[in-house]
Structure 1
Amino acid sequence: MIRKMIVGLSLSAATIASGALAMEPGEDGSGDDIIVTGRVAKLYRVEETASGKMPTEPLASSQAITVLTADLIADQGARDAQDLYRNISGVSFFSYAGVTARGFRQQENFYDGLRGDPYIGFAVPQLFNIERVEFLKGPAGMLYGQSAPGGLFNYVTKKPSQTFSASARMVAGTGDRYGAQAEVTGPVNDVVSLRGGAFFEDRDLPRTFAGNRSLLLDAGATFDLGIARLTTQAWRIEQDLAANRLRGIAVDADGHFLANRRWNHNEPSDFLDLRSTALQAKLEIEPTDNLKLDIAGRRIDASEKQKYHEPITLLDKNGDGRFDAVARQYRDQYRGTKSWSFGGNAVWSAAISDGVSNRVLAGFDYSTEDATSTASQLTGRATAAMGLPCPLDFANPVYRACDPARYAMPAATTTLSETRRNGFYLLNELTLGRLVAVAGIRTDSFEDVAIAANGTRTGFKGRDETYRLGLVWRVRDDVSLFGQYATSFEPQSAAAQDPRAGGPFAPTTGDMMEGGVKTALLGGRLQSSLSVYRIKRQNLLQADPRGDPEGDGINNSVAFGEVTSKGVDVDIAADLTDNWVLTLTYAYNDTRVTKSTTPANGNITNVVAGGRFANAPRNKLGFWTRYQIPAAGLAFALGGDYVSKRISLSNQPVNPYFIFDGSITWARGPWDVRLRVDNILDKTYAASGFNDRGGHFPGEPRSAFVEVGYRF
């Protein structure tokens, strides 16, 4: 029902009471790749990033990067990743954990700089144990290997601290929402510090019968060994989603829903359950003042079970030319993933002379993933039939008319996949007065194997190189011009490498040219970034117009396509007064097919007729503003999210929307209370489009919650 909750608990309470507490890099025990420093009155400002895995002041970096601080996440009451997209120019919701980034669909997430996501399948990352969220815009292949060219998410987790803090919170809201969370961190002695946290929430979702019961346990220990520091962590995630997996709601030719926005295609007994365990360790060593080393590893063991009804065919039961029902398919599915991920970096820096310095980064990463998928499905008819899924009306849905326990399900089939990735990279940064020049290269090896239910193995292995060149000119201390060229690659899926279908195929590649200006004006109170970019994505896999020239019964594919994305991103974080802050993001994007095997451009993934990309808005605007009255302990906040017209995968219009959220917070001593209202005007809208039978994903109706917190 309501999706937003508070994270960063102790930071949130301190922020409300006195602005933002000063925090220097490393004080929170993290010391991770991208470091954010908040200061009094500069609530959402980013003082330092390590976007290239080296700590860098934003004005000295040639990369465009958005960092969402703990203060911003807490103030917005963000519960999961979907709550944050308004704060990132060029990023909008696509489906589940997937987004559209600078025109391209992006679905992969990194945690603490390592590949591997504990939220597999159709789960959305939760934010309870997240300290900050980073989004690196454009191709990030030189540092992170295989990735989409639109950008890359990196979630930085909370670490143990030598400073004691503890907090507890309770929440209650509309939709029978209730929950509680608690976390504590602090020193055992001068060497050891610990962290523990627990989060539980149960709530109804807006769709009929749908619900979300989530449990997240988080623990960690840090050992300060002098020149070395070791941090170990463990997470346990359990998520039970009732009447899921959720698709959208069918729409008419004008993009309007054919059913109430609470309509659900699932039966009450349907579900999606996630179980995930992650173990992580990181060793940091600083043998000298100018040399820093780190090595990290993570193990993830996750599974997702789901039984649900999939909309399969739209029906016009009364023959009036308007769809009024849907035939359904019942799916019984299991996904299991076991993965390992490792990475290491060495950063060497030297001051050569006055105004001249150099830094060198050398690193590696290695990851494996073994996945199992078991599935069985049964398709129903346009009319009810014994032992088959029955159709469901839009206007007057009758649930429990058919019993999944009586379905004559066919035998399940199991497929396996094995993925191996390893990469080595080298980057040099040279500073000459007000000029900063960056050059980097990476080489990757990859191997993918798909094992079909009949035991047939289809595999492919290969290598690729990616590059990054950047230049920054510090026009003044508070103004800089930047430009960069960067590349990316994505291996084709192992299933697509079948020689009978024309495989094997070389990876899809991407490259970007970007330039812009960054500022920190008015003594740093106004921080802004404007970027103009052009991204080309090449060698996309699409259907061969010749069909099956060999006559082997399998239609061929061809890697030929090219897509060009052009756009402008604007990001502003401003302290309008000591008590009034504002963040504003705007993006313009035009993504088009520039080469294809067919004039219709309809064979490239996520592209529909005319070469337009699904769920890629031309214009996107987001803002968040907060005004506090310290003497009264009050803070008032208002946010807005505008997304322009888009199209779905079936070329149906996805209408524009503009929604508003707000909150009122009161804090006194260790207590704070927040009232949050989402979709204040209760607007009915589609958050994104899917396909004709799956419909558009409806945005959530108006909802509210109250959260009470106490700091010990």
Structure 2
Amino acid sequence: MRQSLIAVGILGALHMPLQTLAQQVESDVTPQVAEQQEQKSLERIQVTSRALNLYRNGESDSGKLSVDPLNSTQMITSINENLIKDQGARDAKDLYRNIAGVSLFSYAGVTARGFRQEEIYFDGLRGDPYVGFNVPQLFNVEQVDFLKGPAGMLYGAGDPGGIFNYVTKKPKTETQANARLILGTDKRFGGSVEATGETFNNQSGRVGLFYEEQDGFRDNTASEVTIVDLGYRFEFENALLTTQYTHYAQDLDGNRLRGVPTNDEGEFYTDVSWNHNEASDFLNLRSDVFQVSLEGAITRNLSYDAKVRFIDNEQDQQYHEPRVLIDLDMDEIPDLVLREFRDQIREEQSTSVGINFEYQSTAFGAQQRTAFGIEHFDGDFDGYFGTYRPYSGNDDIAAIVSRYLSGTSLATDIVPLRLNDPDYGLTDSDSYLPSYRDSSSTQKRQGAYLLNELAWQQFTLVAGIRTDKFEDGSAGSDFDDTEQTFRLGAIYKPSENVSIYTQWADSYQPQSIGNQATEVGGSFDPVTGEIIELGINAELFNESTLFRAAIYQIKRQNILQNTGTDPENDGRDNLAALGEVTSDGLEIEVLSDLTENWVLSLAYAYNDAVITKDNGSGGFSNNVGDQFANAPRNTLGFWTRYQLPEYNLALAFGGDYVDERLSLSGQTVKSYFIADASIIYEVDNYSVLLRIDNLFDKEYAESGFLDRTGHFPGETRSAFVEVNYNF
């Protein structure tokens, strides 16, 4: 909290001179400069085609310097509010098809360019209000950016596949208000109200309320989500001060969810509705987020933005973890699952501060933009972990199974669960005798960066450097280090609407302090990575089509993977560090007006992520030359919308193909294609969306995990109707 107060003081100090500088800034701007700025502004909002206006964001700030695709030395996929609404997206998982090279790994984690990626950003700041096992909701999000490749120079420690940056909704001066009602299958019911607009002179506010509940397609599961989103903005002569508060509440019954067991060929042993959890199991999240941001100009050439965010959240869960698959009749098909019970509470308080400056000038006959800034993250994490496993070897397992089969189970037994016709309710967690341990850790991240861009008429050069200091600690263990990361990029524009770019960048990620413990096989060296990339961005066919393509190679060393074994029998699976994984890939993204009323968004990726060096110590099922876990070679996602203006209708259809993969245990995860469809009716202030997900009711696995926990099944067919009214 002390860092939070210091940061607020910094914001105040930055804002104090703004009033006194206002007249000087105004006098510095010559009529010619003012005319150029006005012309530039008009050029940015000019609508050249309906596709670019409907689904495309003009520029992205996630690369520190605001750029459009034709002037970027890296691929940034931006998903705007129109596409989110048209696809009926409720959480981040609904959007992955729109991003070439991204597919589900588990929970909020994805595979990005061949590598597991879990960390997310909000408004450019580190810190996750969803704590990993809860998937980010989209109600208060107006844009989702995925910045591809290593972003160490831009954001510090991170994974080399890319990062998600969620841009939240802010108050607007224009009065807008809407209400939504949603009804769907599986007892889905919910709604939302939003309002924003000017409140007093040079002030505006925002209020948003969201609620939705639904039963899950798996046994014992249901969800209930509530979001309260408030914002208030003060507009000064040369600055904007925005305050925000968001409360997240998410109650998930029958969670934390693992998968459904499969054989080595990826065939489910039982129905995808099977759940290892009892009806009494749950995963509940409460998160409060406070954010203050200040942006403006100090001189005509020097602008800034400064943000402070504080997160206070708690995640409480009780669930039954699958541990042993039991084959009673020896036909090589499991009949029972032996489980353990876990009772976990995670609490987190974090403060994130970012202060960024941008200076514009000329140098060497080029337009020069220089971004520089500092960032600070301070997190305190407290955990209370209980585990109950009433067996320690084969004799205990045999005794528990024997008692279950004879109907004489003890109250302290965790009764095995059948894979077919599961008999829930035979075990009572109140009778368990778990052992508990406390776990506390701290994490500090401090970084300073410098990024410079020189732009001539046809050439652009970008170079950046960043220094980060890391300090992680927990009881009896501390880790600190300092690391530098770099980025180089260049653009050549053979014509006004075509640009060819290349980049080299590296990344660095310290292993989490929990993964340095001897109980999981620690300690481990840091993860490192680097990329070399070549790409093309083009606006084709009278600027009706945005075409983007890239080829890349990423090398990453010392990645930790769960071995699924616990030789010390301490309740914690051991980890193993792979020597090196090399990811070679091709990505293509297209956004196009096929006709005046027909829009297409397409994202294709080929990725070959293979283990190129082992750890030299065994204990892991994958070998050199094997495909890296949950990294599909081919993915294809598309979304197309055709409008019928005479009927006020739009028909939309989407598809998502993910190639065959390997699970963490080396089991096959079969390829799949699923399709979705929507009908959108819009007239005056009303709109009605009819959405069908998994149109053909395909049974499939979204991703694989361990053999004992199975593959994560994809959702079965569902439908909903959403009615929206704009005031």
Structure 1 CA distance, aligned partners of 2:670 and 2:64?
Answer: 40
| Counterpart secondary structure, 2:542 | helix
Question: Residues 352 and 377 of structure 2 are in contact (CA less than 8 Å); yes or no, is this contact kept in structure 1?
Answer: yes
State which of 590, 593, 601 in structure 2 corresponds to 1:583. 601
State the AA in 2 paired with 1:538: Q
Q: Which runs of 5+ in 2 are unaligned?
A: 1-36, 391-396
The aligned residue for residue 685 of structure 1 is 700
The aligned residue for residue 10 of structure 2 is none
| Counterpart secondary structure, 1:136 | strand
* Structure 1 stretch displaced more, 516-525 or 616-625: 516-525
Cα gap change, 1:556 to 1:237, in 2 (>3 Å): closer
State which of 694, 702, 708 in structure 1 corresponds to 2:709. 694
Structure 1 CA distance, aligned partners of 2:580 and 2:168?
Answer: 37
State which of 473, 477, 483 in structure 2 corresponds to 1:464. 483
* Structure 1 stretch displaced more, 280-289 or 175-184: 280-289
The aligned residue for residue 534 of structure 1 is 553
State which of 406, 421, 428 in structure 2 corresponds to 1:396. 421
Structure 1 CA distance, aligned partners of 2:299 and 2:466?
Answer: 26
Cα gap change, 1:556 to 1:95, in 2 (>3 Å): closer
The aligned residue for residue 515 of structure 1 is 534
- Given the two structures, how large is their TM-score scaled by the length of structure 1? 0.89
Question: Deviation of residue 209 (structure 1)?
Answer: 1.6
Q: When you count helix as a share of all residues, which structure comes out higher?
A: 2
Structure 2 CA distance, aligned partners of 1:352 and 1:187?
Answer: 42
Cα gap change, 1:557 to 1:184, in 2 (>3 Å): closer
State the AA in 2 paired with 1:569: E
Report the RMSD for the aligned CA atoms in angstroms.
Answer: 2.6
| Counterpart secondary structure, 1:255 | coil
Cα gap change, 1:585 to 1:140, in 2 (>3 Å): same
Question: Deviation of residue 598 (structure 1)?
Answer: 2.8
Is residue 569 from structure 1 mapped to residue 587 from structure 2 by the alignment?
A: yes
Structure 2 CA distance, aligned partners of 1:213 and 1:46?
Answer: 31
The aligned residue for residue 175 of structure 1 is 186
Pairing of 1:599-678 with structure 2 (within 5 A): 603=620, 607=622, 610-678=625-693
Question: Residues 363 and 454 of structure 2 are in contact (CA less than 8 Å); yes or no, is this contact kept in structure 1?
Answer: no
State the AA in 2 paired with 1:515: L
Question: Deviation of residue 502 (structure 1)?
Answer: 9.4
State the AA in 2 paired with 1:304: Q
State the AA in 1 paired with 2:468: D
Question: Deviation of residue 374 (structure 1)?
Answer: 0.8
Structure 2 CA distance, aligned partners of 1:585 and 1:260?
Answer: 31
The aligned residue for residue 23 of structure 1 is none
Question: Deviation of residue 520 (structure 1)?
Answer: 0.6
Question: Residues 242 and 271 of structure 1 are in contact (CA less than 8 Å); yes or no, is this contact kept in structure 2?
Answer: yes
Question: Deviation of residue 320 (structure 1)?
Answer: 2.4
Structure 2 CA distance, aligned partners of 1:500 and 1:625?
Answer: 50
Question: Residues 378 and 388 of structure 1 are in contact (CA less than 8 Å); yes or no, is this contact kept in structure 2?
Answer: no
* Structure 1 stretch displaced more, 380-389 or 94-103: 380-389
The aligned residue for residue 11 of structure 1 is none
Pairing of 1:91-110 with structure 2 (within 5 A): 91-110=102-121
Cα gap change, 1:132 to 1:251, in 2 (>3 Å): same
- Given the two structures, how large is their TM-score scaled by the length of structure 2? 0.88
Structure 2 CA distance, aligned partners of 1:162 and 1:372?
Answer: 41
State the AA in 2 paired with 1:620: T
Structure 1 CA distance, aligned partners of 2:710 and 2:507?
Answer: 32
Question: Deviation of residue 317 (structure 1)?
Answer: 1.8
Structure 1 CA distance, aligned partners of 2:521 and 2:672?
Answer: 43
Structure 1 CA distance, aligned partners of 2:623 and 2:104?
Answer: 18
State which of 425, 429, 447 in structure 2 corresponds to 1:423. 447
The aligned residue for residue 277 of structure 1 is 288
Is residue 379 from structure 1 mapped to residue 403 from structure 2 by the alignment?
A: no
State the AA in 2 paired with 1:460: F
Question: Deviation of residue 609 (structure 1)?
Answer: 7.3
Residues 169-198 of structure 1 deviation map (CA, whole Å, 9 limit, x = unaligned): 000010011001000000013311000100
Question: Residues 37 and 48 of structure 1 are in contact (CA less than 8 Å); yes or no, is this contact kept in structure 2?
Answer: no
Cα gap change, 1:38 to 1:397, in 2 (>3 Å): farther
| Counterpart secondary structure, 2:306 | strand
Is residue 190 from structure 1 mapped to residue 190 from structure 2 by the alignment?
A: no
The aligned residue for residue 15 of structure 1 is none
Residues 56-111 of structure 1 deviation map (CA, whole Å, 9 limit, x = unaligned): 12111111110011111110000000001000000000100000001100000000
Cα gap change, 1:66 to 1:406, in 2 (>3 Å): same
Question: Residues 51 and 63 of structure 1 are in contact (CA less than 8 Å); yes or no, is this contact kept in structure 2?
Answer: no
| Counterpart secondary structure, 1:319 | coil
Residues 527-574 of structure 1 deviation map (CA, whole Å, 9 limit, x = unaligned): 011100001112446899xxx9xxxxx999997812211100110000
State the AA in 2 paired with 1:388: D
Question: Deviation of residue 289 (structure 1)?
Answer: 2.4
The aligned residue for residue 412 of structure 1 is 436
Structure 2 CA distance, aligned partners of 1:511 and 1:259?
Answer: 42
| Counterpart secondary structure, 2:310 | strand
Cα gap change, 1:128 to 1:327, in 2 (>3 Å): same
Structure 2 CA distance, aligned partners of 1:610 and 1:560?
Answer: 12
| Counterpart secondary structure, 1:47 | coil
| Counterpart secondary structure, 1:412 | strand
Question: Residues 676 and 695 of structure 2 are in contact (CA less than 8 Å); yes or no, is this contact kept in structure 1?
Answer: yes
Question: Residues 556 and 581 of structure 2 are in contact (CA less than 8 Å); yes or no, is this contact kept in structure 1?
Answer: yes
Question: Residues 36 and 49 of structure 1 are in contact (CA less than 8 Å); yes or no, is this contact kept in structure 2?
Answer: no
Structure 2 CA distance, aligned partners of 1:694 and 1:558?
Answer: 19
Structure 2 CA distance, aligned partners of 1:311 and 1:272?
Answer: 17
The aligned residue for residue 22 of structure 1 is none
Question: Residues 541 and 561 of structure 1 are in contact (CA less than 8 Å); yes or no, is this contact kept in structure 2?
Answer: no
Structure 2 CA distance, aligned partners of 1:36 and 1:540?
Answer: 46
Structure 1 CA distance, aligned partners of 2:697 and 2:67?
Answer: 42
State which of 592, 595, 604 in structure 1 corresponds to 2:610. 592
Structure 1 CA distance, aligned partners of 2:276 and 2:574?
Answer: 35
Question: Deviation of residue 54 (structure 1)?
Answer: 1.5
The aligned residue for residue 369 of structure 2 is 359
The aligned residue for residue 393 of structure 2 is none
State the AA in 2 paired with 1:591: A
Identity of aligned residues (%): 47
Question: Residues 571 and 584 of structure 1 are in contact (CA less than 8 Å); yes or no, is this contact kept in structure 2?
Answer: yes
Structure 2 CA distance, aligned partners of 1:280 and 1:530?
Answer: 36
* Structure 1 stretch displaced more, 465-474 or 409-418: 409-418
Structure 2 CA distance, aligned partners of 1:212 and 1:555?
Answer: 29
| Counterpart secondary structure, 1:86 | helix
State the AA in 1 paired with 2:595: T
Structure 1 CA distance, aligned partners of 2:329 and 2:321?
Answer: 22
Structure 2 CA distance, aligned partners of 1:272 and 1:142?
Answer: 36
The aligned residue for residue 485 of structure 1 is 504
Question: Deviation of residue 318 (structure 1)?
Answer: 2.4
Question: Deviation of residue 638 (structure 1)?
Answer: 0.1
Is residue 433 from structure 1 mapped to residue 452 from structure 2 by the alignment?
A: no
Alignment coverage as a number of residue pairs: 665
Structure 1 CA distance, aligned partners of 2:712 and 2:688?
Answer: 32
